A and B are shown apart, each in its own frame.
Chain A
């Protein structure tokens, strides 16, 4: 089957800010040339590691984000490295540039020089805070961006005094920004002309905090963090409960339909645990809201008698939007992901062999968005890439 973006060529200057956007292109079949500095991309030094091997060819982080890419080492501080890059850019559709604000200019690769090589190029510059402004030279990280962006202050514990705000793990600031880079690049391509896209990771994160801004703008109130649930301006009932097997359940009662409520109550009743929830008064929205803590308590007691899986599937069968809070390792045997062909095996050759990766979540009908090839070893495609266009 053809791959969705197989007609595109992308040049990615390797780095933590560009890796996710580059992967979104490469898993859709675009040719992505990863330009690495001598010594290799910084992210080749990121854990987790393959069997604890901490060399430049064993980063599972790099492996995941670099599937299907080609690697070529170019020394952009040297003239021939810059010339090779410009030759590549002449034939490319997109440049993913994660250098700091002004970084390429200082190497002589000004926007004029790059546009001179290809005036139809979409040049996406991902910087921590944007190209200009009072904080343009500041440094970021996943944690720093989730702090400044507002994610952290919305996440943590309200039943544990003095506890800190908590970030979300897994490079999520990089995902928020990198996904936007992908969107902006594809949008520019639709117009068929080149563009310089100035993307700020800080803006990307700051613009993704759901209802916090409307709450503040309309009420003047600031949402604060609540254990295991949404930050809010006023206290809310608990919706995270511990199941009999020690795992937790996310048991939200938001937009509960009458059918779902009846299903829940009769389920509790079957086990003699409905208490007074069988009372039809709970169909009155005001009473439902007023008694929310009591309802949460009754559900919590029931959850404590079942496994997380029993609650998850039993609740969903009754049209309740509950889920078990799964650990990453739980997903390996999940029947749904298996049925949707989520996992992929990629061949690393000797000695690593076939390795099982999280695949793409994009399921297309007429083309394919799916990694096919392991990440490149450092400079694996260097000779071919450096030779390209040299005879022109």
Chain B
């Protein structure tokens, strides 16, 4: 079965997770992704050099995180600093539905490949420029990675324990959400093209997407002048109570519990043998419980402390109480029956990387085959096939371009291991 994006081809100049994560999503849905890259800046994706590395040894084709972000794509190695390289990229444009890039603002224009230039070649192109702060505005030139965007947008400041410095997010949440939003922009452009036949340009700023993810808070502060300060794991607006992480038996073991409905509260009290709390009419309502949150939290933790987190979770969920262990990645891989049932971790084999786990996508779609199906490409793995099949370059021309260091390829294991 095909994927829903079968037949969609993407000319992909994205880098890192926020950029390249977006075309990964399109790849898992069936699009053909042509990564344009080169082993030197500016067309190098530094993620290729990031760890962890297969066998602990660095190399362009040995990076585990790069592999995670670039499953199912094709790699076309072109030296974009040369005129001949830029010409090849230009020749590819008529064959592509989408162009996506995540360089600093100005790079694509310098290469003659900005939206205005590309649309003269392919008028219905869907073009995404993804950056930290967008293409315009006083901070347009600012550099950003996930934690920068999280810090700027308020996501970092609102996460933490009361009266402590911010906890941060512990990972690049806005690289993930940047990738998701960038994929969403491309798909909106494709959907509009389907309806109108017209192309579209999206100027996406990772930091601004972070701000959009705090919508109710921003509406609140704009209306009331309120200050938003962290409250640990309690709900900032009291929409759930109890709502916290409770210490369980063993080292650094925690169970999250959230209650909103009176039925959930009754079930919780019964499960933790707190008949006295269940009998109190003032605790039936959310407002009543919020007034006694410390007392309730203490009672719950008195129950969880001596219990195994996973067993306590099952007891509570069986009783109808939302509860979940704070899982590590090891827990998710080895101790989560639902992720195993859904097949979130798909294993793929690659001669350089070995057999590895890849995070699959959170959806199944009837009538379509979707998800992770082939590993990430070696740098230049598809250069020859793409230029031959799409542009009709004869073998001798490919040889000459390679000899002139305009293109590169990696079609044998030796070549893949050499860089």
Contact = CB atoms under 8 A, between A and B. Distances in A.
Contacts of B357: 213, 217
B233 A213 contact: no
Contacts of A187: 3-5, 29-30, 187, 365
Nearest to B222: A356
Nearest to A188: B4
Given A191-B368, A322-B148, A339-B137, A141 B240 contact: yes
Interface residues of B, number: 159
Given A60-B223, A213-B329, A367-B192, A164 B254 contact: yes
Contact of A357 (B52, B219, B243, B260): B219
Given A207-B344, A228-B167, A365-B201, A331 B218 contact: yes
A110 B384 CA distance: 50
B164 A160 contact: yes
Contacts of A319: 143
The secondary-structure label for the interface of chain A is: mixed
A148 interface: yes
A283 interface: no
B165 A365 contact: no
A217 B64 contact: yes
Interface in B129-156: 133-134, 136-139, 141-156
B335 to A, nearest CB: 11
Contacts of B164: 157, 160
A197 B363 contact: yes
Contacts of B326: 147-148, 152-153, 165
Nearest to A132: B341
Interface in A158-200: 160, 163-172, 175-177, 179-184, 186-191, 193-200
A211 B63 CA distance: 11
Interface stretch (A32-40, A42-50, A286-294): A42-50
Contacts of B175: 210
Interface stretch (B75-83, B176-184, B404-412): B176-184
User: Which applies to chain B's interface (DSSP): helix, strand, loop or mixed?
Assistant: mixed
A214 B204 contact: no
B113 interface: no
A326 B202 CA distance: 26
Contacts of B148: 250, 252, 321-323
A150 B163 CA distance: 24
Interface string A216-229: 11110011011111
A322 B150 CA distance: 11
A5 B192 contact: yes
B4 to A, nearest CB: 4
B256 A147 contact: yes
14 contacts: A61-B239, A140-B322, A147-B326, A147-B327, A164-B161, A180-B361, A188-B365, A190-B5, A195-B366, A195-B368, A203-B361, A203-B362, A255-B46, A323-B144
Given A164-B161, A357-B222, A365-B200, 15 more contacts: A7-B195, A28-B188, A51-B223, A135-B317, A139-B317, A149-B332, A164-B254, A166-B159, A182-B187, A184-B29, A190-B191, A207-B359, A213-B329, A328-B217, A339-B136
The 3 tightest CB contacts between A and B, nearest first, are A155-B170, A203-B362, A141-B258
